[in-house]
Amino acid sequence: MSDKPLRILLTGFGPFPGAPFNPTMPLVARLTKLRRPALDDVAITSHIFDVTYATVDRELPQLLATHRPHALLMFGLAARTPYLRIETRARNAITTIWPDADGTRIRKGSIAGTADALTFGPHTLKLLRAAQATGIDARASRDAGSYLCNYLCWRAIEATRARHDPEKRGPVFGQDHAETEHAPALAAFVHVPPLARDGGAIRRNSGRITLDHLVDAGEAMLLEIAKTARQVVRA
């Protein structure tokens, strides 16, 4: 891997019912354009998912097959949280109440017939510390909700597990054992608070977090996940 770039995929979400503006879109755009010496060996690609289950199911496997990222750094909007949340796990839960942006309502309240939760791994603590070092209010979270963010978390963790055990490849890789060798080594998901359309802070949010604050924290987490991915991939 030393003579090839480290590949990192950044993702965000578009607007959804109740959130006509999703700050993960400008955040991912800003992070994708970063140029830092510590990222000279990193090929960064990005993608914005429509907030639908069908989109995640269709596009996540395509992204992994096309870009073969060593790490995924994913962002989503937590509309009622005024601080940054680094998710530590995905719950085997899916809302049957709230439809996605296409109006699709899930009838079954679980994602898979397996564990109650899947964990991202100890690297989430490193990302948390990196974000906090920028001065932003960042906290660890054990509950990614039960909407599209949690659903993407679950599918991404399944993808990382497939790297080490093809039998755990899940639906992301289908029946293709060969593709599992290109599964990402790491994945992380970060919930961001709502922002005004101009990137300013929302008055009701006591932390007064702006887009610039999110970019600073996002940069720190990107550098940290790149550092950790290098260690894992080269091990």
Question: Comparing 138 with 182, which gets the higher pLDDT?
Answer: 138
Compute the average pLDDT of residues 90-97. 95
Q: pLDDT band for position 178 (50/70/90)? A: very low
Compute the average pLDDT of residues 93-115. 91
Backbone angle region of 154, left / alpha / beta, with phi > 0 → left and psi within -120 to 50 → alpha: alpha
In angstroms, the Cα distances linking 64 to 9, 61, 191, 200, 228 are: 9, 5, 22, 33, 19
Position 201 scores a pLDDT of 82
Q: Is the predicted pLDDT of residue 34 greater than 70, yes or no?
A: yes
Question: Comparing 177 with 190, which gets the higher pLDDT?
Answer: 190
* Domains and their CATH numbers in the chain: 6-234 (3.40.630.20)
Q: Angle at which helices 148-164 and 53-67 pack, to 10 degrees? A: 30
